Amino acid sequence: MARSRSGHQLPAAVAKSLANASPQPFWLDQPDAPEPLPALAAHLTTSLAVVGAGFTGLWTALLAKERDPSRDVVVLEARTVGNAASGRNGGFCSASLTHGIANGLERFPAELPLLEKLGEQNLNEIGATIAKHDIDCDFQLTGELSVATAGWQLEGIEEEAAAARALGHDVEVLDGEGIRRELNSPTLVGGLKFTTGNALVEPGRLAWGLRRACLDAGVRIYEHTPVTSITPSRTGLTLSTPYGSVRAGRAVLATGVFGRTLLRRIGAYVIPVWDYALMTEPLSDAQLAALGWNGPRGAGDMSNQFHYFRLTRDNRMLWGGYDAVYYNGGRIRDEDAYSPATFAKLAAHFFTAFPQLAGVSFTHAWGGIIDTCSRFCAFFGSAYGGRLAYVAGYTGLGVGATRFGAQVLLDKIDNLDTERTRLALVRSKPIPFPPEPVRSGVIQLTRASIARADEHEGRRDAWLRLLDRVGLGFDS
Ligand SMILES: Cc1cc2nc3c(=O)[nH]c(=O)nc-3n(C[C@H](O)[C@H](O)[C@H](O)COP(=O)(O)OP(=O)(O)OC[C@H]3O[C@@H](n4cnc5c(N)ncnc54)[C@H](O)[C@@H]3O)c2cc1C
Protein backbone atom coordinates (compact mmCIF):
# COMPACT_ATOMS: atom_id res chain seq x y z
CA MET A 1 0.00 0.00 0.00
CA ALA A 2 1.10 3.60 -0.65
CA ARG A 3 -0.43 6.70 0.90
CA SER A 4 -2.17 9.11 -1.49
CA ARG A 5 -2.17 12.88 -1.01
CA SER A 6 -5.66 12.62 0.47
CA GLY A 7 -4.29 10.25 3.13
CA HIS A 8 -6.04 7.12 1.84
CA GLN A 9 -4.17 3.86 1.38
CA LEU A 10 -3.69 3.04 -2.29
CA PRO A 11 -2.95 -0.53 -3.38
CA ALA A 12 0.72 -0.54 -4.41
CA ALA A 13 -0.12 -1.84 -7.89
CA VAL A 14 -2.51 1.05 -8.51
CA ALA A 15 0.01 3.62 -7.28
CA LYS A 16 2.72 2.05 -9.46
CA SER A 17 0.50 2.10 -12.55
CA LEU A 18 0.20 5.89 -12.24
CA ALA A 19 3.78 6.66 -11.22
CA ASN A 20 4.89 7.84 -14.66
CA ALA A 21 1.63 9.30 -15.94
CA SER A 22 2.04 12.70 -17.54
CA PRO A 23 -0.63 15.26 -16.55
CA GLN A 24 -0.96 16.30 -20.23
CA PRO A 25 -3.97 15.15 -22.24
CA PHE A 26 -2.66 12.27 -24.39
CA TRP A 27 -4.27 13.66 -27.56
CA LEU A 28 -2.41 16.97 -27.28
CA ASP A 29 0.92 15.48 -26.17
CA GLN A 30 1.97 14.51 -29.69
CA PRO A 31 5.17 15.14 -31.67
CA ASP A 32 3.15 16.53 -34.59
CA ALA A 33 1.42 19.23 -32.49
CA PRO A 34 1.37 22.43 -34.58
CA GLU A 35 3.39 25.49 -33.64
CA PRO A 36 1.23 28.13 -31.92
CA LEU A 37 -0.05 30.94 -34.10
CA PRO A 38 0.81 34.52 -33.09
CA ALA A 39 -1.49 36.51 -30.82
CA LEU A 40 -3.49 39.39 -32.26
CA ALA A 41 -1.47 42.61 -32.03
CA ALA A 42 -3.54 44.92 -34.25
CA HIS A 43 -6.94 46.48 -34.65
CA LEU A 44 -8.88 44.50 -37.26
CA THR A 45 -12.21 44.71 -38.97
CA THR A 46 -14.01 41.57 -40.06
CA SER A 47 -17.39 40.27 -41.11
CA LEU A 48 -17.49 37.42 -38.56
CA ALA A 49 -15.53 37.04 -35.33
CA VAL A 50 -15.50 33.61 -33.69
CA VAL A 51 -14.51 33.52 -30.01
CA GLY A 52 -12.98 30.18 -29.00
CA ALA A 53 -11.23 27.52 -31.12
CA GLY A 54 -12.59 24.26 -29.82
CA PHE A 55 -14.73 22.17 -32.16
CA THR A 56 -17.60 24.69 -32.02
CA GLY A 57 -15.43 27.61 -33.09
CA LEU A 58 -13.45 25.68 -35.70
CA TRP A 59 -16.57 24.24 -37.33
CA THR A 60 -18.24 27.66 -37.29
CA ALA A 61 -15.29 29.25 -39.06
CA LEU A 62 -14.91 26.45 -41.61
CA LEU A 63 -18.63 26.20 -42.38
CA ALA A 64 -18.87 29.99 -42.71
CA LYS A 65 -16.21 29.78 -45.43
CA GLU A 66 -17.94 26.80 -47.07
CA ARG A 67 -21.20 28.72 -47.16
CA ASP A 68 -19.60 31.91 -48.48
CA PRO A 69 -15.88 31.83 -49.38
CA SER A 70 -15.84 35.64 -49.69
CA ARG A 71 -16.85 36.14 -46.04
CA ASP A 72 -13.98 37.37 -43.88
CA VAL A 73 -13.64 35.29 -40.70
CA VAL A 74 -11.39 35.85 -37.68
CA VAL A 75 -10.99 33.32 -34.83
CA LEU A 76 -9.78 34.48 -31.43
CA GLU A 77 -8.58 31.73 -29.06
CA ALA A 78 -7.54 32.43 -25.45
CA ARG A 79 -4.93 29.64 -25.43
CA THR A 80 -4.30 27.22 -28.28
CA VAL A 81 -6.66 25.43 -30.67
CA GLY A 82 -8.32 22.45 -28.98
CA ASN A 83 -6.69 23.01 -25.58
CA ALA A 84 -9.96 22.71 -23.63
CA ALA A 85 -12.67 20.02 -23.83
CA SER A 86 -12.12 19.50 -27.57
CA GLY A 87 -8.60 18.15 -27.04
CA ARG A 88 -9.31 16.28 -23.79
CA ASN A 89 -12.30 14.08 -24.51
CA GLY A 90 -12.82 10.37 -25.12
CA GLY A 91 -13.14 10.80 -28.87
CA PHE A 92 -16.62 9.25 -29.08
CA CYS A 93 -18.15 11.12 -32.01
CA SER A 94 -21.84 10.36 -31.68
CA ALA A 95 -24.63 11.06 -34.14
CA SER A 96 -26.84 11.97 -31.20
CA LEU A 97 -27.67 15.65 -30.79
CA THR A 98 -29.55 14.97 -27.55
CA HIS A 99 -26.95 13.25 -25.32
CA GLY A 100 -28.36 9.88 -26.27
CA ILE A 101 -31.70 8.46 -27.31
CA ALA A 102 -33.17 8.08 -23.80
CA ASN A 103 -32.57 11.77 -22.99
CA GLY A 104 -33.91 12.78 -26.41
CA LEU A 105 -37.08 10.71 -25.93
CA GLU A 106 -37.64 12.27 -22.52
CA ARG A 107 -37.16 15.88 -23.59
CA PHE A 108 -38.02 16.11 -27.31
CA PRO A 109 -40.17 13.04 -28.07
CA ALA A 110 -42.06 14.53 -31.03
CA GLU A 111 -38.91 15.95 -32.59
CA LEU A 112 -36.58 13.03 -31.98
CA PRO A 113 -36.96 11.29 -35.38
CA LEU A 114 -35.96 14.56 -37.08
CA LEU A 115 -33.15 15.19 -34.58
CA GLU A 116 -31.80 11.70 -35.20
CA LYS A 117 -31.94 12.23 -38.97
CA LEU A 118 -30.11 15.55 -38.66
CA GLY A 119 -27.59 13.95 -36.30
CA GLU A 120 -26.85 11.11 -38.70
CA GLN A 121 -26.44 13.57 -41.56
CA ASN A 122 -24.12 15.63 -39.34
CA LEU A 123 -21.97 12.59 -38.51
CA ASN A 124 -21.73 11.65 -42.19
CA GLU A 125 -20.72 15.20 -43.09
CA ILE A 126 -18.04 15.17 -40.39
CA GLY A 127 -16.62 12.05 -42.05
CA ALA A 128 -16.85 13.67 -45.48
CA THR A 129 -15.01 16.82 -44.29
CA ILE A 130 -12.27 14.75 -42.67
CA ALA A 131 -11.83 12.84 -45.95
CA LYS A 132 -11.96 16.00 -48.10
CA HIS A 133 -9.28 17.77 -46.07
CA ASP A 134 -7.27 14.60 -45.57
CA ILE A 135 -7.31 14.94 -41.78
CA ASP A 136 -5.35 12.08 -40.25
CA CYS A 137 -7.43 11.58 -37.07
CA ASP A 138 -8.36 7.88 -37.28
CA PHE A 139 -12.06 8.63 -37.79
CA GLN A 140 -13.89 5.29 -37.89
CA LEU A 141 -17.61 4.57 -37.88
CA THR A 142 -17.42 1.88 -35.25
CA GLY A 143 -20.72 1.83 -33.38
CA GLU A 144 -20.33 1.21 -29.66
CA LEU A 145 -21.03 -1.12 -26.77
CA SER A 146 -23.28 -0.07 -23.94
CA VAL A 147 -22.42 -2.46 -21.13
CA ALA A 148 -24.15 -3.39 -17.87
CA THR A 149 -22.02 -4.11 -14.81
CA ALA A 150 -24.95 -4.93 -12.49
CA GLY A 151 -28.26 -6.69 -13.01
CA TRP A 152 -30.40 -3.60 -12.28
CA GLN A 153 -28.86 -1.83 -15.28
CA LEU A 154 -30.52 -4.38 -17.58
CA GLU A 155 -34.04 -3.28 -16.63
CA GLY A 156 -35.73 -1.77 -19.66
CA ILE A 157 -32.89 -2.79 -21.98
CA GLU A 158 -35.27 -4.47 -24.49
CA GLU A 159 -37.41 -1.31 -24.61
CA GLU A 160 -34.29 0.82 -25.12
CA ALA A 161 -33.21 -1.40 -28.01
CA ALA A 162 -36.71 -1.26 -29.54
CA ALA A 163 -36.74 2.56 -29.31
CA ALA A 164 -33.33 2.73 -30.95
CA ARG A 165 -34.41 0.36 -33.74
CA ALA A 166 -37.54 2.44 -34.34
CA LEU A 167 -35.20 5.38 -34.92
CA GLY A 168 -33.24 3.41 -37.50
CA HIS A 169 -30.36 2.06 -35.39
CA ASP A 170 -28.85 -1.37 -35.71
CA VAL A 171 -28.67 -2.71 -32.15
CA GLU A 172 -28.43 -6.14 -30.59
CA VAL A 173 -29.31 -7.07 -26.99
CA LEU A 174 -26.63 -9.29 -25.44
CA ASP A 175 -26.63 -11.41 -22.29
CA GLY A 176 -23.57 -11.87 -20.07
CA GLU A 177 -21.93 -14.45 -22.31
CA GLY A 178 -22.74 -12.48 -25.45
CA ILE A 179 -21.27 -9.23 -24.16
CA ARG A 180 -18.13 -10.99 -22.88
CA ARG A 181 -17.60 -12.37 -26.38
CA GLU A 182 -17.41 -8.73 -27.54
CA LEU A 183 -15.14 -7.67 -24.68
CA ASN A 184 -13.64 -9.94 -22.06
CA SER A 185 -14.35 -8.41 -18.65
CA PRO A 186 -15.61 -10.40 -15.65
CA THR A 187 -17.65 -7.36 -14.55
CA LEU A 188 -19.98 -7.42 -17.57
CA VAL A 189 -23.43 -8.97 -17.18
CA GLY A 190 -25.08 -7.90 -20.46
CA GLY A 191 -25.46 -4.94 -22.76
CA LEU A 192 -26.28 -3.47 -26.12
CA LYS A 193 -24.17 -3.62 -29.25
CA PHE A 194 -24.75 -0.66 -31.58
CA THR A 195 -23.18 -0.89 -35.01
CA THR A 196 -24.55 2.53 -36.00
CA GLY A 197 -24.60 6.05 -34.60
CA ASN A 198 -21.04 6.44 -33.37
CA ALA A 199 -17.56 7.02 -34.71
CA LEU A 200 -14.27 7.05 -32.85
CA VAL A 201 -11.82 9.82 -33.57
CA GLU A 202 -8.55 11.24 -32.25
CA PRO A 203 -9.91 14.56 -31.02
CA GLY A 204 -6.61 16.49 -30.85
CA ARG A 205 -5.74 15.64 -34.44
CA LEU A 206 -9.28 16.45 -35.55
CA ALA A 207 -8.96 19.92 -33.96
CA TRP A 208 -5.55 20.45 -35.59
CA GLY A 209 -6.87 19.26 -38.95
CA LEU A 210 -9.83 21.63 -38.78
CA ARG A 211 -7.40 24.41 -37.85
CA ARG A 212 -5.40 23.69 -41.01
CA ALA A 213 -8.56 23.51 -43.13
CA CYS A 214 -9.64 26.89 -41.73
CA LEU A 215 -6.26 28.47 -42.46
CA ASP A 216 -6.29 27.02 -45.99
CA ALA A 217 -9.74 28.55 -46.50
CA GLY A 218 -8.38 31.98 -45.52
CA VAL A 219 -9.61 32.15 -41.91
CA ARG A 220 -7.34 34.26 -39.69
CA ILE A 221 -6.73 32.47 -36.36
CA TYR A 222 -5.07 34.18 -33.40
CA GLU A 223 -3.96 32.01 -30.48
CA HIS A 224 -3.14 33.25 -26.95
CA THR A 225 -5.72 35.95 -27.60
CA PRO A 226 -8.42 35.99 -24.92
CA VAL A 227 -11.38 38.24 -25.65
CA THR A 228 -11.75 40.39 -22.55
CA SER A 229 -14.95 42.26 -23.39
CA ILE A 230 -17.56 42.65 -26.11
CA THR A 231 -19.19 46.02 -26.66
CA PRO A 232 -21.89 46.92 -29.16
CA SER A 233 -21.51 49.73 -31.67
CA ARG A 234 -23.98 51.06 -34.23
CA THR A 235 -22.76 48.76 -36.97
CA GLY A 236 -21.54 45.71 -35.09
CA LEU A 237 -19.51 44.62 -32.08
CA THR A 238 -16.06 45.43 -30.77
CA LEU A 239 -14.12 42.58 -29.21
CA SER A 240 -11.23 43.67 -27.00
CA THR A 241 -8.11 41.55 -26.59
CA PRO A 242 -4.90 42.21 -24.61
CA TYR A 243 -2.90 43.64 -27.56
CA GLY A 244 -5.58 44.57 -30.05
CA SER A 245 -9.25 44.52 -30.95
CA VAL A 246 -11.65 43.28 -33.61
CA ARG A 247 -14.59 45.19 -35.01
CA ALA A 248 -16.99 42.62 -36.36
CA GLY A 249 -20.34 42.79 -38.08
CA ARG A 250 -21.32 39.55 -36.39
CA ALA A 251 -19.78 37.41 -33.65
CA VAL A 252 -20.29 33.98 -32.16
CA LEU A 253 -19.36 32.79 -28.70
CA ALA A 254 -17.94 29.29 -29.04
CA THR A 255 -16.56 29.30 -25.51
CA GLY A 256 -18.78 26.79 -23.68
CA VAL A 257 -19.03 27.56 -19.98
CA PHE A 258 -16.12 30.04 -20.23
CA GLY A 259 -18.50 32.34 -22.10
CA ARG A 260 -20.16 33.26 -18.78
CA THR A 261 -17.46 35.92 -18.23
CA LEU A 262 -18.34 37.62 -21.55
CA LEU A 263 -22.12 37.19 -21.44
CA ARG A 264 -23.44 36.74 -17.91
CA ARG A 265 -26.74 35.12 -18.89
CA ILE A 266 -24.89 31.98 -20.08
CA GLY A 267 -23.83 31.33 -16.49
CA ALA A 268 -27.44 30.78 -15.41
CA TYR A 269 -27.75 27.70 -17.62
CA VAL A 270 -24.36 26.04 -17.62
CA ILE A 271 -21.89 24.84 -15.00
CA PRO A 272 -18.28 23.61 -15.24
CA VAL A 273 -18.11 19.90 -14.38
CA TRP A 274 -14.69 18.27 -14.34
CA ASP A 275 -14.30 14.87 -15.94
CA TYR A 276 -11.09 12.80 -15.85
CA ALA A 277 -9.43 10.19 -18.05
CA LEU A 278 -6.43 7.85 -18.10
CA MET A 279 -4.52 6.48 -21.09
CA THR A 280 -2.55 3.22 -20.88
CA GLU A 281 0.70 2.42 -22.57
CA PRO A 282 0.23 0.49 -25.86
CA LEU A 283 -1.00 -3.02 -25.08
CA SER A 284 1.11 -5.93 -26.28
CA ASP A 285 -0.31 -8.57 -28.62
CA ALA A 286 -0.66 -10.95 -25.66
CA GLN A 287 -2.50 -8.31 -23.61
CA LEU A 288 -4.79 -7.54 -26.55
CA ALA A 289 -5.54 -11.23 -26.98
CA ALA A 290 -6.38 -11.47 -23.26
CA LEU A 291 -8.60 -8.40 -23.55
CA GLY A 292 -10.57 -10.08 -26.31
CA TRP A 293 -12.04 -6.84 -27.59
CA ASN A 294 -13.79 -8.16 -30.69
CA GLY A 295 -16.77 -5.79 -30.92
CA PRO A 296 -16.95 -2.04 -31.55
CA ARG A 297 -13.83 -0.58 -29.96
CA GLY A 298 -15.62 2.02 -27.85
CA ALA A 299 -17.82 1.36 -24.82
CA GLY A 300 -19.60 2.97 -21.91
CA ASP A 301 -21.23 1.38 -18.90
CA MET A 302 -24.81 1.91 -17.84
CA SER A 303 -24.40 3.06 -14.24
CA ASN A 304 -25.29 6.64 -13.33
CA GLN A 305 -21.64 7.36 -12.60
CA PHE A 306 -20.45 5.77 -15.80
CA HIS A 307 -17.06 4.88 -17.26
CA TYR A 308 -16.28 5.26 -20.95
CA PHE A 309 -13.42 3.38 -22.58
CA ARG A 310 -11.94 2.71 -26.00
CA LEU A 311 -8.89 1.55 -27.86
CA THR A 312 -6.63 3.84 -29.88
CA ARG A 313 -4.95 3.12 -33.17
CA ASP A 314 -1.76 2.11 -31.35
CA ASN A 315 -3.72 -0.20 -29.02
CA ARG A 316 -3.75 1.90 -25.89
CA MET A 317 -6.87 1.96 -23.77
CA LEU A 318 -8.47 5.22 -22.71
CA TRP A 319 -10.47 4.82 -19.50
CA GLY A 320 -12.42 7.82 -18.21
CA GLY A 321 -15.50 9.12 -16.46
CA TYR A 322 -17.12 8.04 -13.17
CA ASP A 323 -16.27 11.08 -11.01
CA ALA A 324 -18.05 14.19 -12.31
CA VAL A 325 -16.74 16.93 -10.06
CA TYR A 326 -18.24 20.37 -9.45
CA TYR A 327 -16.01 22.60 -7.39
CA ASN A 328 -18.06 24.81 -5.10
CA GLY A 329 -18.78 28.24 -6.45
CA GLY A 330 -18.26 26.89 -9.98
CA ARG A 331 -14.58 27.78 -9.78
CA ILE A 332 -12.36 27.03 -12.77
CA ARG A 333 -8.68 26.55 -11.94
CA ASP A 334 -6.04 24.98 -14.19
CA GLU A 335 -4.66 22.91 -11.31
CA ASP A 336 -7.95 21.02 -11.00
CA ALA A 337 -7.08 19.20 -14.24
CA TYR A 338 -4.68 17.18 -12.06
CA SER A 339 -6.63 15.13 -9.51
CA PRO A 340 -4.60 12.22 -8.06
CA ALA A 341 -7.51 10.99 -5.92
CA THR A 342 -9.72 10.61 -9.00
CA PHE A 343 -6.89 9.10 -11.06
CA ALA A 344 -6.32 6.48 -8.35
CA LYS A 345 -10.03 5.66 -8.21
CA LEU A 346 -10.17 5.31 -12.00
CA ALA A 347 -7.05 3.11 -12.07
CA ALA A 348 -8.47 0.83 -9.37
CA HIS A 349 -11.73 0.49 -11.35
CA PHE A 350 -9.72 -0.28 -14.50
CA PHE A 351 -7.90 -3.23 -12.90
CA THR A 352 -11.18 -4.55 -11.46
CA ALA A 353 -12.73 -4.44 -14.94
CA PHE A 354 -9.67 -5.95 -16.62
CA PRO A 355 -7.71 -8.10 -14.14
CA GLN A 356 -5.91 -9.69 -17.11
CA LEU A 357 -4.18 -6.31 -17.67
CA ALA A 358 -2.46 -6.31 -14.24
CA GLY A 359 0.93 -4.61 -14.57
CA VAL A 360 -0.11 -2.20 -17.33
CA SER A 361 0.98 1.42 -16.76
CA PHE A 362 -0.81 4.65 -17.52
CA THR A 363 1.20 7.15 -19.55
CA HIS A 364 -1.26 10.06 -19.27
CA ALA A 365 -3.84 11.19 -16.70
CA TRP A 366 -5.79 14.41 -17.17
CA GLY A 367 -9.02 16.27 -16.61
CA GLY A 368 -11.16 18.66 -18.58
CA ILE A 369 -14.24 20.79 -18.19
CA ILE A 370 -17.63 19.66 -19.40
CA ASP A 371 -20.17 22.44 -20.00
CA THR A 372 -23.11 20.86 -18.25
CA CYS A 373 -26.69 22.08 -18.46
CA SER A 374 -29.76 20.66 -16.78
CA ARG A 375 -31.14 19.03 -19.95
CA PHE A 376 -27.74 17.56 -21.04
CA CYS A 377 -27.80 18.88 -24.60
CA ALA A 378 -26.81 22.16 -26.24
CA PHE A 379 -28.87 25.33 -26.00
CA PHE A 380 -28.60 28.43 -28.15
CA GLY A 381 -29.20 32.15 -27.80
CA SER A 382 -28.57 35.59 -29.27
CA ALA A 383 -27.54 38.94 -27.86
CA TYR A 384 -26.96 42.51 -29.03
CA GLY A 385 -29.95 42.56 -31.35
CA GLY A 386 -28.97 39.29 -33.02
CA ARG A 387 -25.44 40.40 -33.87
CA LEU A 388 -24.02 37.76 -31.53
CA ALA A 389 -25.06 34.12 -31.22
CA TYR A 390 -23.92 31.60 -28.64
CA VAL A 391 -24.14 27.90 -27.85
CA ALA A 392 -23.21 25.96 -24.71
CA GLY A 393 -24.32 22.97 -22.65
CA TYR A 394 -23.27 19.96 -24.77
CA THR A 395 -22.70 18.09 -21.47
CA GLY A 396 -20.20 15.43 -22.41
CA LEU A 397 -21.51 14.64 -25.89
CA GLY A 398 -20.28 17.47 -28.06
CA VAL A 399 -17.59 15.96 -30.28
CA GLY A 400 -20.12 15.39 -33.07
CA ALA A 401 -22.90 17.76 -32.01
CA THR A 402 -20.63 20.84 -32.09
CA ARG A 403 -20.70 20.77 -35.89
CA PHE A 404 -24.49 20.86 -35.83
CA GLY A 405 -24.24 23.66 -33.23
CA ALA A 406 -22.00 25.61 -35.59
CA GLN A 407 -24.59 25.33 -38.37
CA VAL A 408 -27.23 26.72 -36.02
CA LEU A 409 -24.97 29.63 -34.99
CA LEU A 410 -24.44 30.57 -38.64
CA ASP A 411 -28.18 30.33 -39.32
CA LYS A 412 -28.83 32.57 -36.35
CA ILE A 413 -26.35 35.35 -37.09
CA ASP A 414 -27.62 35.54 -40.67
CA ASN A 415 -31.20 35.52 -39.42
CA LEU A 416 -32.09 32.48 -41.56
CA ASP A 417 -35.28 30.53 -41.03
CA THR A 418 -34.18 26.88 -41.41
CA GLU A 419 -35.26 23.40 -40.40
CA ARG A 420 -32.64 23.74 -37.67
CA THR A 421 -33.73 27.11 -36.26
CA ARG A 422 -37.33 25.91 -36.04
CA LEU A 423 -36.41 23.01 -33.75
CA ALA A 424 -37.67 23.09 -30.15
CA LEU A 425 -34.13 22.01 -29.23
CA VAL A 426 -32.84 25.26 -30.72
CA ARG A 427 -35.64 27.56 -29.59
CA SER A 428 -35.94 26.42 -25.96
CA LYS A 429 -33.58 26.78 -23.01
CA PRO A 430 -32.80 24.35 -20.20
CA ILE A 431 -34.09 25.02 -16.70
CA PRO A 432 -31.54 27.39 -15.14
CA PHE A 433 -29.50 26.34 -12.13
CA PRO A 434 -30.22 28.29 -8.94
CA PRO A 435 -27.71 31.01 -8.05
CA GLU A 436 -24.78 30.34 -5.70
CA PRO A 437 -24.42 29.33 -2.93
CA VAL A 438 -27.66 27.32 -3.29
CA ARG A 439 -26.32 25.98 -6.61
CA SER A 440 -23.33 24.29 -5.00
CA GLY A 441 -25.51 22.79 -2.25
CA VAL A 442 -28.02 21.39 -4.77
CA ILE A 443 -25.31 19.94 -7.02
CA GLN A 444 -23.38 18.26 -4.19
CA LEU A 445 -26.61 16.81 -2.81
CA THR A 446 -27.46 15.47 -6.27
CA ARG A 447 -24.00 13.95 -6.75
CA ALA A 448 -24.27 12.15 -3.39
CA SER A 449 -27.75 10.84 -4.28
CA ILE A 450 -26.52 9.59 -7.67
CA ALA A 451 -23.62 7.73 -6.02
CA ARG A 452 -26.07 6.14 -3.53
CA ALA A 453 -28.38 5.09 -6.38
CA ASP A 454 -25.50 3.20 -8.03
CA GLU A 455 -24.69 1.48 -4.73
CA HIS A 456 -28.35 0.50 -4.16
CA GLU A 457 -29.29 -1.19 -7.42
CA GLY A 458 -30.22 2.02 -9.19
CA ARG A 459 -32.91 3.02 -6.65
CA ARG A 460 -33.45 6.77 -6.92
CA ASP A 461 -34.10 8.54 -3.64
CA ALA A 462 -36.79 11.17 -3.03
CA TRP A 463 -34.45 13.98 -4.12
CA LEU A 464 -33.61 12.40 -7.48
CA ARG A 465 -37.28 11.55 -8.06
CA LEU A 466 -38.18 15.19 -7.44
CA LEU A 467 -35.52 16.35 -9.92
CA ASP A 468 -36.77 13.78 -12.46
CA ARG A 469 -40.29 15.18 -12.11
CA VAL A 470 -39.24 18.77 -12.77
CA GLY A 471 -36.84 17.76 -15.57
CA LEU A 472 -33.67 18.97 -13.82
CA GLY A 473 -30.60 16.81 -14.12
CA PHE A 474 -26.90 16.54 -13.36
CA ASP A 475 -24.64 14.51 -15.64
CA SER A 476 -21.30 14.57 -17.39
C1 LIG B 1 -12.69 14.61 -20.17
C2 LIG B 1 -13.77 14.84 -21.21
C3 LIG B 1 -14.25 13.75 -21.95
C4 LIG B 1 -15.24 13.96 -22.93
N5 LIG B 1 -15.58 12.91 -23.73
C6 LIG B 1 -16.42 13.13 -24.78
C7 LIG B 1 -16.66 12.11 -25.74
O8 LIG B 1 -16.06 11.04 -25.72
N9 LIG B 1 -17.56 12.37 -26.73
C10 LIG B 1 -18.20 13.58 -26.83
O11 LIG B 1 -19.01 13.76 -27.73
N12 LIG B 1 -17.92 14.59 -25.97
C13 LIG B 1 -17.03 14.41 -24.98
N14 LIG B 1 -16.72 15.44 -24.15
C15 LIG B 1 -17.32 16.76 -24.41
C16 LIG B 1 -16.72 17.44 -25.63
O17 LIG B 1 -15.32 17.42 -25.53
C18 LIG B 1 -17.25 18.87 -25.72
O19 LIG B 1 -18.67 18.86 -25.76
C20 LIG B 1 -16.76 19.64 -26.94
O21 LIG B 1 -15.38 19.49 -27.12
C22 LIG B 1 -17.11 21.12 -26.77
O23 LIG B 1 -16.43 21.89 -27.73
P24 LIG B 1 -16.47 23.47 -27.66
O25 LIG B 1 -15.72 23.97 -28.82
O26 LIG B 1 -17.89 23.91 -27.52
O27 LIG B 1 -15.76 23.85 -26.28
P28 LIG B 1 -14.20 23.82 -25.88
O29 LIG B 1 -13.47 22.73 -26.52
O30 LIG B 1 -14.19 23.91 -24.39
O31 LIG B 1 -13.64 25.17 -26.51
C32 LIG B 1 -13.88 26.45 -25.97
C33 LIG B 1 -12.68 27.31 -26.36
O34 LIG B 1 -12.92 28.67 -26.01
C35 LIG B 1 -11.70 29.23 -25.57
N36 LIG B 1 -12.01 30.42 -24.79
C37 LIG B 1 -12.61 30.50 -23.57
N38 LIG B 1 -12.74 31.78 -23.18
C39 LIG B 1 -12.25 32.54 -24.18
C40 LIG B 1 -12.11 33.95 -24.38
N41 LIG B 1 -12.53 34.83 -23.46
N42 LIG B 1 -11.54 34.40 -25.53
C43 LIG B 1 -11.12 33.51 -26.48
N44 LIG B 1 -11.23 32.17 -26.34
C45 LIG B 1 -11.79 31.69 -25.21
C46 LIG B 1 -11.07 28.11 -24.76
O47 LIG B 1 -9.68 28.29 -24.57
C48 LIG B 1 -11.41 26.90 -25.61
O49 LIG B 1 -10.41 26.60 -26.55
C50 LIG B 1 -15.77 15.27 -23.15
C51 LIG B 1 -15.27 16.35 -22.40
C52 LIG B 1 -14.28 16.14 -21.46
C53 LIG B 1 -13.75 17.33 -20.69
Instruction: For Cα atoms 59, 81, 418, give the angle at the middle one, nearest 5 degrees.
Output: 15
- Rounded CA gap, 103 and 58, in Å? 27
* Among 118, 141, 116, CA closest to 128: 141
Q: Which long-range contacts (CB under 8 A, 24 or more apart) does 175-180 make?
A: 179/145, 179/147, 179/148, 180/292
Test site for ligand 1: of 253, 370, 408, 476, most ligand atoms within 8 A of the Cβ: 370
Per-residue pLDDT, 475: 75
Q: Tell me the longest C-alpha to C-alpha distance in the chain.
A: 67
pLDDT tens, position by position, 429-471: 999 999 999 999 989 989 889 889 888 888 888 888 888 888 7
Mean pLDDT (the chain) is: 95
Backbone angles phi, psi at 328, to 5 degrees: -50, 140
3-state secondary structure of 227: coil
Q: What is the pTM of this model?
A: 0.96
pLDDT of residue 2: 44
Number of neighbouring beta carbons within 10 Å of residue 426: 21
Q: Is the pLDDT of residue 148 over 90?
A: yes
Structure confidence at residue 165 (pLDDT): 97
pLDDT band at 472 (very low <50, low <70, confident <90, very high): confident
With the most atoms of ligand 1 within 8 angstroms of its CB, the residue from 229, 255, 260, 339 to mutate is 255
What is the whole-number distance in angstroms between the Cα of residue 286 and the centre of ligand 1?
36
- Say how far apart CA 459 and CA 447 lie, in whole Å: 14
CA torsion 443-445-446-452 (nearest 10°) is: 150
Look at residue 258 in the predicted model and tell me its pLDDT.
98
Alpha helices in 305-437 (DSSP H): 340-353, 401-413, 424-427
Whether 404 and 118 have beta carbons less than 8 Å apart is answered as yes
Separation of alpha carbons 248 and 254, rounded Å: 15
Q: What percent of the chain has pLDDT over 90?
A: 88
Question: Model confidence over 54-104: pLDDT tens digits?
Answer: 999 999 999 999 999 999 999 999 999 999 999 999 999 999 999 999 999
Distance 103 CA to ligand 1 centre (A): 21
pLDDT at 1: 40
In this prediction, residues 301-330 reach a mean pLDDT of 95
370 C-alpha vs ligand 1 centroid, how far in Å?
Answer: 7
- pLDDT value, residue 8: 60
User: What's the whole-number mean pLDDT along residues 210-221?
Assistant: 98
pLDDT at 3: 46
For residue 359, how many other CB atoms are within 10 A of its CB?
10
**pLDDT for the residue numbered 455:** 87
Q: Is the dihedral of CA 442, 443, 446, 451 positive or negative?
A: negative
- Residue range 266-290, pLDDT digits in tens: 999 999 999 999 999 999 999 999 9
Instruction: Give 125-139 pLDDT, tens digit per residue.
Output: 999 999 999 999 999
Q: Which residues contact 357 (CB under 8 A, 6 or more apart)?
A: 280, 283, 287, 290, 291, 317, 350, 351
For the segment 31-44, the average pLDDT, to the nearest whole number, is: 97
Give the pLDDT score at 466. 87
Distance from C-alpha of 207 to C-alpha of 211, rounded to nearest angstrom: 6
Q: How far apart are CA 345 and CA 335, in angstroms?
A: 18
Distance from Cα 87 to the centre of ligand 1, integer Å:
7
Q: What proportion of the chain, given as a percentage, has pLDDT over 70?
A: 98
Average pLDDT over residues 279-308: 95
